[in-house]
Amino acid sequence: MSAQAPGRPDTPILLLTKLHPPVVPAQAIARERLLSRLHAGRGRRLSLVACPAGFGKTTLLAAWRAAADRPTAWVSLDEGDDDVVVLWSHVVEALGRACPAFDAAALAATVPAAPLTEVVLPGLVNALLEQGELVLVLDDFHRLSSEAARASVAWLIEHVPATVQIVIASRSDPPLPLARLRARGQLLELRAQELRFTEAEAAEFLNDRLALDLAPEDVALLVARTEGWPAGLYLAALSLADKPDKHARVQAFDGTTAHVVDFLAAEVLAGYAPEQQAFMLRTAVLERVCASLCDAVLDASGSSEVLATLARSNLFLVPLDERHEWFRFHHLFAQLLRAELQRREPELVDELHRRAHVWHRASGTTDEAIHHALAARLFDEVSALIAETWVHYANAGRTASVLEWLTRFPDDVLHRDRRLLAVKAWVVALCGREDEMRAVIARLRALDGLDDGPLPDGMASVRSSLSILRATFAWGDVAGVLEHGTRSAELEGPGSPWYPVLTWALGWAHYCNDDLDQAEARLRETVVLGPRAEQWIVSVASLADLSLIAGLRGRREEQARLADEAIELARTCGLLDSVEVGEIHTARGVALAARGLPHEALPELERGIMLRRLWAQPLDLVDGLLALAPVAASTGDRGRAVAALDEAEAILGRCPDPGALPTRLALARRAARVSAPAPRAELSDRELTVLRLLGSGRSEREIAAELFVSYNTLHSHVKSIYRKLGVSSRADAIARSPR
């Protein structure tokens, strides 16, 4: 449909459909939060809605216009508006239709021949001054490529009366003085992040408007996978309509449906030059991109300029840093690109991943290097890389990542790779999966070459690795830890990066045996050597274990300091909630209880138990349960205390050699029966030593001999302990012992 001003043959033909906003679809939802934001643009020179295709810019503005309390002029721009005469003829006509008092005919007569910024636009501004409040919407502004057309709009924005709200919708930031407007508070911006559908909006759209009757979890999954992209949600809805198995289809929705690919080709890719299409398709194999990475993957140069161009066009490219060096494609958009790449150039995909692997490995970005090597099926390369780096991931608590990588190997490749099987044995042990660890060890022992070495992780051989593993994970066998740990420590020597693991294992075993002097010596050795070898798990664990020992020996300040140091190092290393170091929370809880804060201690103790239960190392869990029981009892929660002790007893019954932990269990049961509050009288260091030895079951004469004091002196210490604790028997004294 078109119209021409009568008697003015030089007046351009106007496309009246451009002056009418699209009808708001019946399925559209009322997005009040966004409408309110647009209303807030009243009094500002420019309201900018800038985001990529499919975010509902036009629909939002059409809905806002329908509910507007002011006259609204609308122009849908296209390539023809690069001619400033065509552009401003449409704008004037739109304003005349919105405001009957506006003399559009007189102004339109000036457009074809008069100087634009000297006559036409000043005349337009003067005419607008005579009007009341109104809105001018310029939709699809990105379709303007003429510098003259853009400059003329910029001029109007700078001079428009405050009564006029100019609204621009664009797929990219327009070349307008945005920074200056922003600095003056004259710019309202709505970006993709705000136009994304929330879960509530998606539920209303998919269920109330489209009647899909999706479960809340399916709606949430669609929102997550599309990142709230309205077009993605709608296209997903198209694929779900009239399908009985909606839940299964939602689970499978990954952006490769025909609807989405068609949208990609028609609405996005087709609008770009072939070389830009090739750039986007081939770099879509990357999770994140920078110029040098793109150059490497494309085996070309000039990626910096292409990225800069794409970033300016806001084409689903999300900056990841303030310097705009790293970007990623919108997740769904990247999936669509990959699907299209697979359709167009399937033979190129592996080579692109190989180039990405080489670049990332040289750059030290191991996660990405492994990812791309696996994608390219470069199993020898990725095996070597995992064998070199798995310790660093384990120390950071990222065992799940290593296991996930291992699952991506074909069985026939994994089961003949001694290095990878050794890694798997370690990692499943760290995850507390004893049966699986034993199965992997059995498979390894059936292979040849177990004495070949050294391994990339620093162990002398696969056989040595298995020996260290048995020393570290004895599954309730304290004697086994001491045996294998001592042998392995001699074999590896202090120069081995695995020596701190062995010193920690030996220290822990001595702690379980109540040999606190040996335990403390070994654990302090670990605290020194562990960081040097980047063995962070045992470094953190040793600090926590030393805190527990300091508590047993009555060194309260040291106990609290070591517990805090363990927590802080765990936080720094990303291990705060790792199952491998649950004792850090046990140590902090015990330290809090020792300061007379049992209610504050309980959450930490429970957290430690939760983590140690997940790790499933039996003696670790028993230690946490025994720490919890007296604190729970002191708060009056006898039921929790007894339950913890019962569980500890059941676990100890399954352990081959639980060390001295059964004795501690007996003492804890006595403690749970004591109801008096903890004493305030402080015991001396000597009295604390005597009290600890009383708990070992030795007679007073045996204790006196061990301490090299007379029986009478020892008995005097015992009477002083009873008096300070307010008890009359050894059992009660032990039960009241400060942990």
pLDDT in tens, 319-349: 766 677 888 786 567 878 898 899 999 999 9
pLDDT in tens, 425-465: 999 988 878 899 999 999 999 999 888 889 998 898 898 89
Asked whether this chain's domains 2-195 and 263-375 adopt the same fold, the reply is no
What CATH topology corresponds to 263-375?
A: Arc Repressor Mutant, subunit A (1.10.10)
The helix or strand, by DSSP H or E, that contains position 5, with its residue range, turns out to be none
Q: Is 451 exposed, middle or buried (0-12, 13-18, 19+ CB in 10 A)?
A: exposed
The helix or strand, by DSSP H or E, that contains position 169, with its residue range, turns out to be strand 164-170
What CATH topology corresponds to 474-672?
A: 1.25.40
Q: pLDDT at residue 77 above 60?
A: yes
Placement of tokens 């997940």 in the chain: 614
Q: Interhelix angle for 598-615 vs 583-594, to 10°?
A: 160
Q: Is 364 left (phi over 0), alpha (psi -120 to 50) or beta?
A: left
pLDDT in tens, 454-465: 999 889 889 889
pLDDT in tens, 183-236: 999 999 999 999 999 999 999 999 999 889 999 999 999 998 888 988 888 777
Cβ atoms of residues 139 and 76 within 8 Å? yes
SS (H, E, C) 352-420: HHHHHHHHHHHHCCHHHHHHHHHHCCCHHHHHHHHHHHHHHHHHCCCHHHHHHHHHCCCHHHHCCCHHH
Across 285-294, 308-317, 513-522, least confident range: 308-317
Placement of tokens 């953190």 in the chain: 540
What CA–CA distance (Å, rounded) separates 633 from 640?
A: 8
Non-local (6+) Cβ contacts of 702 within 8 A are none
pTM, entire model: 0.54
Placement of tokens 């500890």 in the chain: 648
What CA–CA distance (Å, rounded) separates 424 from 405?
A: 10
DSSP 8-state code for residue 329? E
Segment 369-383 shows an average pLDDT of 95
Q: Which two tokens stand for residue 536?
A: 């962070």
Neighbour-count burial for 302-332, b at 16+ CB within 10 Å, e otherwise: ebeebbeebbebbbbbbeeeeeeeebbbbbb
CATH architecture of 685-735: Orthogonal Bundle (1.10)
Q: Which of 430, 391, 390 is nearest to 406 (CA)?
A: 390
Neighbour-count burial for 280-290, b at 16+ CB within 10 Å, e otherwise: bbbbbbbeebb
Q: Give me the pLDDT at residue 316, please.
A: 64
CATH architecture of 2-195: 3-Layer(aba) Sandwich (3.40)
Query: What residues does each domain of the chain span?
Result: 2-195, 199-253, 263-375, 387-465, 474-672, 685-735
